[in-house]
Structure 1
C-alpha cells in the first residue's frame, strides 16, 4: 500500500473528525435572559412536563452527561447538579468562549427561525459570529401565515365573521400576502429554503391535488378565523388550511423552478420524532409519496432522520430524484447504538449523496456541540466498518464523509462554499488550495498523522522525492531526508525555489519567461505520498507538490493547482466531477553504440511484433519486463487493469484504472516513473516519444468521464455543451498543450487510427480527435506522452467550462460523425459541421492558443504567455539541431 492511501483508516478518521460541517437544519439560541425558561435536561429528549423526570435514566442522557463533563471540565464522578453549577459558571464568566467552543467546526448553519419568538431568541444572523461562513435562513411557512393572519385579523369582530363578503375579502388579502412573502423569500439570497411543520399540526397525509385542496379550504378558513377572534390564538391546525399552505408554497416555488429550468429552493418537512404534540402515526414520510410525485422540481428534505421511519424515508430518497434525508435530531436524542443503527438504515438503500447532516441545535449551544460530536463518532464507526468489510473503498468512504458533512448541503442549498479541511494529509479535493503553508501549531498534529502512519508502515524510508511537473512536462524534484521532510510537514510549509526555475527549458536553457525576482514554495500533497519501487536506488518515497506564494496562497500558474481550481469550479458550478483513465503507450528501445548513424541509434526491444501478439520473442524478451513493471506498480498500490503489445515494434501499453481528475494524473506520473526506471535497470530506454521509430506512432489517450457529484446522470445537454461546444470549439488551442512538440504532428494524419486531421467528433470513431465512447465518456485522442498532463487536461476542462457557460441548450457546433471525415466530400463534411483542420504544426497550435482569449483567461493569461514564450524558444533550439540529435534529445527526455 502507498502513502496516505495505505494509512488505511487514519485518512478516513481525519476527514470525518476535521471536515467542517454545514448544519442544514437548526434553530436560534436563547437570549441570556431566557436561559432559565427551559429545562436544560430537555437537550436529550422530546419529553416534557412530568415525563421529563425520567430522562435521567435514558442512555442518551447518561452519555450526554458524560460528554458535558468533558466540555465544562468537570470531574468524572460529578453528578448532574455539579454539571449545572459548572455550566452556570461558564455562562456567567465565559459565555462567548462557550458559544465558540460549542459551534466549533461548523461552516454555516441554516436556521429555521420559526421556533421561539423574537423576544426570546437571537436573530439568525447573530450566529454568524461563531461560524466560518455566514448563516442563512430557512423560512417556516406556518409562521409566515400565522404572522400575516394575526395582522390581518387584528380588528376583526364577530359581526365580521358572520359576513361572507368580509370572509371572502379576508381570504383574498391573506392568500395574496402569503404569496408575496413566499416570493420575497425566493428572491432573498439570505433565504436558502423553506420549512413546514404540518407534521405537528395535521400530519403528513397531505392532499396532493392543488385544485382539490382549494375546494376544501373555504370552510376550514372560516372556522380558523372564528377561533382566532374568540381565543386570540393564531396557530393553524385545520387540515385543509394546513394542506393549502404547503401546496400553495409548492406551487409558487415550482413555477419559479420551471421558469428557470432548474430545481427550486428546497423545502424541509418535520418527519418522525417529535414531542407529545405530534401524532406519531401521522409522521411517516411515506404519507407524502403522492405529494413528492406531484412536484418533481422541488427538493424535499425529510428532517430528523424520520425516526422511527428511517427506512421509509430512505426509500423515498432513493426512488425520487428530489428527495433528501436529513440525519438530525437523533443526535443526541438516541443512544449511540441507536444512532449507528439509524446511519446503517439510511445507507441500506439511500445513496449517500442524498444524506444531509444537521444538529437540530436549538436554544442551548450545547445542543450543537453534542449533536456534532456524536454524529462524527457514529459516522466514523460506520464508515470504518464499511471499509473493513470491503463494502466501500477508502476513497469512497472519504467521499461519503465529505458528502454527508458538507458537500451535499453545499450543492442542494446552492451555498457556493469552499471546503477546507484543517489537515494537509487529505486529498486535494478534500482541502482548499488557499490554506497557509506557514507554521500552524493548531493543525500540525493532524497534518502529520498520515505521515506518521506511513513511516510506521515503511520504517526503512529515509528519503522523499518532492516532485512537480514543469511547463515543458519535465519532472523536477528535491530529495529530502525523512527528518527534514517531516519537519516541513509539521511546520505546514514547503521548500523554496526561485520563480525563475519555472521559466527554464528541459536543459535549463533560459527563456523570456524567467523571472529572477521572487520565490515560490513547493508544498507536499500527502495524499500522493507513495513508497518507491524496490529497485529505486534510495530507500524512499515520492510525493507531488503544489506551488504556493510567499503568503502561502495558491498560485493559479501552478499546473497542478490551476487544474484543481478548474475541477473545483466544474464541481461547484455545474455539479460535475471527472474520472480519467489513462493509457501508457511506451516503446522499449535498446541503445546502440553512440557512434552509430542517427538512424541506427535505437533498436526496438522486440521486432517480431504486432498488436495484441505474444510471439516467442515477446514472451521471452518483453514479458518478464512487463510483468516486473506491473508487479512493481502493484507493490506501490497502482493497479494495472491490463497490458498488451501495441502495433509498433517494441511498443506496449499499460492501462491504468479510472480515477478522479487530479489523482488520475498524479498516478499516471508516478506510474511512468516506475516504467522508465525499471526499464533502465535492464539497459533499456522506455520512451513516450510520439514517433520513436519510423511508422511507430505513440499516443497517450485519455478517457474522460463526466459524473454528477450527486450521483445522478449528467444530462446529455451538459455533456454536449462541455465536449462539442466547449472542447471542440477550442481544440486547436488545446493542441498547444496536448501535442506540444513538432514531432507530435507527425501523428496528425488520416487513415491511421490516430484521430485524423479534421476537428470533429464521433461515437466510436477513431478517425476523429474526440471519440465518444458512450454517453458521458469520451476519449481525447489528440494527446501524447510529451504533454504536461496537468496543463493539457486543464485546457480541456477550461474549454468545457466555456461550453457550459455558453448554455446547455445552444445549438451544437458539430454533429456526431459516423464516417472517416477524410473520406467525405466538402459538402458532406459541412453537413456534420466539420469545417476546420487540426493544426499541422506546433507553431499553428501556439498561434491558435495565442488568439484564443477565452481559453487564455480560463487558464491564467500569465501562464499561457509564459508557456507560449518557452515553447517558441524550445522549438528554435530543437530546429537548430541535426535530425538525429534532436530525436535522441527528445527520446532521452520523454
Structure 2
C-alpha cells in the first residue's frame, strides 16, 4: 500500500471542529462562509470560488454531489442548491473518514448540527469541547441585575465550568479574539475578579460579550484547575481578530507556570505562526499544535504548510484538525487536503532517503489519529 493510500484510509480524529449548517444557504451566504477572513459579502464581480479553497471545493466535493471534478462553479452551486441541508451533509460528511469529532459548541450552535447529529450524518463518535467565554456569557445573563452578582461570579463560574465539563473531553478559549494573547497571564486576585465582574455585569446587555482581560484570564486559570486539555486559538481567524496579537509566542508567560505545565495545551490553527508553535511544542512537554483551518484555506499549497509545521515540532505533538464550521465541504476538505499534503510531504522525504517508509506510516498515523487519542484520553 502506498503512503497516499495509507493516509487516505486512516480513520482520523478531528480534534477541533464545529457543526455543519442545518439550514439551506443562499449562494451569497455560502461564499461568505468560505471566506474566513471577512464576515462581509464577497465584493461585486468576484466569487469565493476563485480561491485555493474554491478550487478545492470544485475538485474534491463536486464528485460527491454527482458532478465531474472541477465542475464549473455555477454547475456546482446549481447541484448543491437542489439538495436540502441534510442531504448535502449526508453526502459530504462521511467522505472525511473521521471516527472521532471533538466539537466546539460555543458559537452559533443554533445554526449548526449538534455533536450527536454530526456523528449520525458523518459516522463516528462526537465529543464535546467546552468554550470558556460562552459559559461566562451565559452566566452573566443570570447574574446581571442581582445585587450580589459580582460577589457570586467567581464561585458560580467555577461551579458552572465543572458541571459543563463533566461530559467534555476538553475546554477551549478564544481570548485571542477578545483581548489578544499579549496579556498579563498571572492568575488574577479574587478581589480583581469581583471588581471586573461588577464592571461587566453592570454594563452587560441582553447578549453580553466577554472582553475583560481579568475575567478572560480567570476563565483560563479555572480551566487549568480541571486538568482537561486546554485548546487555545492562535493565529488565523476572521477580521474580528487582530492577527498581530495572536502569535503563540505571546503565551510564554502562561506556559511557564507550573500549574499550566500539568495540563495538555493545544495550540489551534497557528498559521502564519506555525513555526513558532512548533518551537513551543518542542520546548514545552505539554504543548501540542495543529495547522487546522489553514490547510483548507491554502488548498493546493497545503503541502508547504504541512511541511513547515513538521520542521521543529516533535511528531508526537502534532494533531489533525479541520476547524470546519458551517458548510460540510469544509469538514471534507480538511481531511482530504491534510491526507494528501501529509502523504506527499512524507513521500518526498522517503524518496530522498531521509525517512524510511515504515517511519512515514507511523508518523502519519500519530498525527492523524494516535496523538489525539492519547492527549484527550479517548
TM (norm. structure 1) is: 0.40
Corresponding residue of 1:612: none
Are residue 192 (structure 1) and residue 169 (structure 2) matched?
yes
Measure the CA separation in 2 of the matches of 1:100 and 1:316.
33
Deviations 1:160-217 (A, max 9, x none): 7xxxxx3xx212322212111222244x2x31000000100001123221145x5544
Measure the CA separation in 1 of the matches of 2:70 and 2:362.
39
Distance 1:243 1:123, change over 3 A: same
Deviations 1:716-747 (A, max 9, x none): xxxxxxxxxxxxxxxxxxxxxxxxxxxxxxxx
Measure the CA separation in 2 of the matches of 1:62 and 1:127.
25
Count of residue pairs brought into register by the alignment: 373
Consecutive unaligned residues in structure 2, runs of 5 or more? none
Are residue 210 (structure 1) and residue 187 (structure 2) matched?
yes
Deviations 1:448-488 (A, max 9, x none): xxxxxxxxxxxxxxxxxxxxxxxxxxxxxxxxxxxxxxxxx
Give the alignment partner of residue 29 of structure 2, picking from 39, 64, 71.
Answer: 39
Give the alignment partner of residue 365 of structure 2, picking from 402, 415, 424.
Answer: 402
Alpha carbons 2:153, 2:194 under 8 Å: kept: no
**Max radius of gyration: which structure?**
1
Deviations 1:770-811 (A, max 9, x none): xxxxxxxxxxxxxxxxxxxxxxxxxxxxxxxxxxxxxxxxxx
Corresponding residue of 2:200: 224
Corresponding residue of 2:125: 134
Deviations 1:17-70 (A, max 9, x none): 1000011000112223x6449721245421221456563432332233233322
Deviations 1:545-583 (A, max 9, x none): xxxxxxxxxxxxxxxxxxxxxxxxxxxxxxxxxxxxxxx
For the aligned residues, what is the CA RMSD? 2.3
Distance 1:392 1:76, change over 3 A: closer
Which has the bigger relative contact order, CA under 8 A and spacing at least 6?
2
**Partner SS, residue 82 of structure 2:** helix
**Partner SS, residue 368 of structure 2:** helix
Give the alignment partner of residue 314 of structure 2, picking from 324, 345, 351.
Answer: 351
TM (norm. structure 2) is: 0.91
**Partner SS, residue 348 of structure 1:** coil
Pairwise CA distance, 1:88: 1.9
Residue correspondence of structure 1 range 444-483 to structure 2 within 5 A: none
Are residue 81 (structure 1) and residue 74 (structure 2) matched?
yes
Deviations 1:269-322 (A, max 9, x none): 111000000000111010001101111101110001x01101110000111011
Measure the CA separation in 2 of the matches of 1:13 and 1:360.
23
Measure the CA separation in 1 of the matches of 2:57 and 2:278.
27
Measure the CA separation in 2 of the matches of 1:388 and 1:411.
30
Are residue 310 (structure 1) and residue 274 (structure 2) matched?
yes
Measure the CA separation in 2 of the matches of 1:54 and 1:17.
30
Deviations 1:82-102 (A, max 9, x none): 211101223379446415544
Corresponding residue of 2:7: 16
Consecutive unaligned residues in structure 1, runs of 5 or more? 1-9, 161-165, 254-263, 416-894
**Partner SS, residue 302 of structure 1:** strand
Are residue 116 (structure 1) and residue 108 (structure 2) matched?
yes
Alpha carbons 1:206, 1:291 under 8 Å: kept: no
Corresponding residue of 1:551: none
Residue correspondence of structure 1 range 61-80 to structure 2 within 5 A: 61-75=54-68, 78-80=71-73
Measure the CA separation in 1 of the matches of 2:375 and 2:85.
39
**Partner SS, residue 185 of structure 2:** coil
Give the alignment partner of residue 381 of structure 1, picking from 304, 320, 344.
Answer: 344
Corresponding residue of 2:264: 299
Residue correspondence of structure 1 range 490-529 to structure 2 within 5 A: none
Measure the CA separation in 2 of the matches of 1:92 and 1:174.
40
Alpha carbons 2:22, 2:85 under 8 Å: kept: no
Alpha carbons 2:268, 2:292 under 8 Å: kept: yes
Residue correspondence of structure 1 range 598-637 to structure 2 within 5 A: none
Distance 1:126 1:78, change over 3 A: closer
Corresponding residue of 2:150: 171
Corresponding residue of 1:235: 209
Distance 1:357 1:77, change over 3 A: closer
Alpha carbons 2:181, 2:247 under 8 Å: kept: yes
**Partner SS, residue 122 of structure 1:** coil
Pairwise CA distance, 1:340: 1.5
Deviations 1:114-166 (A, max 9, x none): 12133x2222122222455421000001011101111222xx2xxx7xxxxx3
Alpha carbons 2:32, 2:42 under 8 Å: kept: no
Are residue 336 (structure 1) and residue 300 (structure 2) matched?
yes
Distance 1:311 1:215, change over 3 A: farther
Distance 1:60 1:133, change over 3 A: closer
Alpha carbons 1:138, 1:193 under 8 Å: kept: yes
Greater Cα shift, 231-240 or 325-334: 231-240
Measure the CA separation in 2 of the matches of 1:38 and 1:298.
42
